[in-house]
Structure 1
Amino acid sequence: MGLKQSITPYLWFDGTAKEAADFYVSVFPNSRIVTVGHNSEDTPGPTGSVLVVLFELDGVRFGAINGGSTFKLSEATSFLIDCATQEEIDFYWEKLGAGGQYQACGWLKDRFGLSWQVNSSDLVEKAHADPAAGARVMKAMMDMVKIDLAGLQRALDGK
């Protein structure tokens, strides 16, 4: 991984940063834990407990910090997983949604509270190239929980 990423998202957890990072690394290909930093006697939190985790998901670097209960993850921030096939959508939907909460339009909140959009940006981009097709695709998507690519394609085609 020789390329340096200029912006790294950091996620705030209340004691589950390492567990969450391990879970995400297990779901996405080409992923790994980069480093784990622990509290010292000079930092808040129990000495030796995990403070921060740097990890990569399919080559994209993230940070996770055990910052306490002050802040919570919310739908205000989400990550889009761009899927090429229905099989990919099904895989990520089941893996990330297990123990979490499924939501409308291909969104889910995982068991740690992180929101994901499991969709095909290619199909959505095609839909937005034509306003009438875009309206049909958006209407079809609003009726879905998990994305059905065949259903969105039918809406795109006007069928």
Structure 2
Amino acid sequence: MSLSKITPCLWFDGQAEEAAQFYTTIFPNSRITTTQYYTDAGKEYHGREAGSVMVVEFTIFNGQHTFTALNGGPQFTFSEAISFQIDCEDQDEVNYYWDKLSAGGDERRQQCGWVVDKFGLAWQVIPRRLKEMLSDKDRVKSSRVTESMMRMKKLDVVQLERAFEGA
């Protein structure tokens, strides 16, 4: 059962089950919770074959985050206008999520910690320390961090720290 009253619904064109399996292998203690199938009812609207996957519900991070993956068709695609932020403890965690999510993704759409996965979904793989540095009251320090970050694809905590300290 979801802990939240808001569940993101991710629209796919026949890849909902594959995507749910992909995400549940990346994030700890994740699982597919339910799968629903199309029937002949409404076929004149959805055009899907009876028995094909319609919706896959899954949770990630110990069931803390619930998602719905819908095989809705080719009408809509993802863009970076919507992304999911992953709050990473350290560089090892940044590397883990970046490597997993970028596999088969669009390298041309990677910048400043943003990665677009093989389904076109955008993620922000962000070290917790970056948020602290960007929120620092010393605007000169936070400006140097921003400038350093803008030149990166995958974020490098050591380089960001050096920029923060003026090194």
Q: Deviations over 1:2-57 (max 9, x none)?
A: x6211111100000001000000000001110101100111431100000111111
**Per-residue deviation, 1:117:** 0.8
**Per-residue deviation, 1:121:** 3.5
Counterpart Cα distance in 1 of 2:12 and 2:106 = 18
TM-score normalised by structure 2 residue count = 0.89
Counterpart Cα distance in 2 of 1:35 and 1:134 = 44
Question: Which residue does 1:105 correspond to in 2?
Answer: 112
**Unpaired segments of 5 or more residues in structure 1?**
none
RMSD: 1.3
Question: Which residue does 1:64 correspond to in 2?
Answer: 69
Query: Aligned to 1:81, which of 62, 80, 86?
Result: 86
The correspondence of residues 10-89 of structure 1 with structure 2, limited to 5 A, is 10-43=9-42, 44=46, 45-58=48-61, 59-89=64-94
- 2:5 is paired with a residue whose SS is coil
Counterpart Cα distance in 2 of 1:105 and 1:6 = 31
Counterpart Cα distance in 2 of 1:20 and 1:128 = 34
Counterpart Cα distance in 1 of 2:134 and 2:41 = 53
Aligned-partner residue type, residue 55 of structure 2: V
Q: Does 1:140 align with 2:139?
A: no
Question: What is the aligned length?
Answer: 158
**Unpaired segments of 5 or more residues in structure 2?**
none
Question: Which residue does 2:164 correspond to in 1?
Answer: 156
Aligned-partner residue type, residue 87 of structure 1: D
Counterpart Cα distance in 2 of 1:57 and 1:139 = 33
TM-score normalised by structure 1 residue count = 0.94
> Percentage identity across aligned positions?
47
- 1:55 is paired with a residue whose SS is strand
Aligned-partner residue type, residue 163 of structure 2: A
- 2:35 is paired with a residue whose SS is strand
**Per-residue deviation, 1:111:** 0.4
Aligned-partner residue type, residue 4 of structure 1: L
Cα contact 2:36–2:54 (8 A) shared by 1: yes
- 2:59 is paired with a residue whose SS is strand
Aligned-partner residue type, residue 73 of structure 1: F
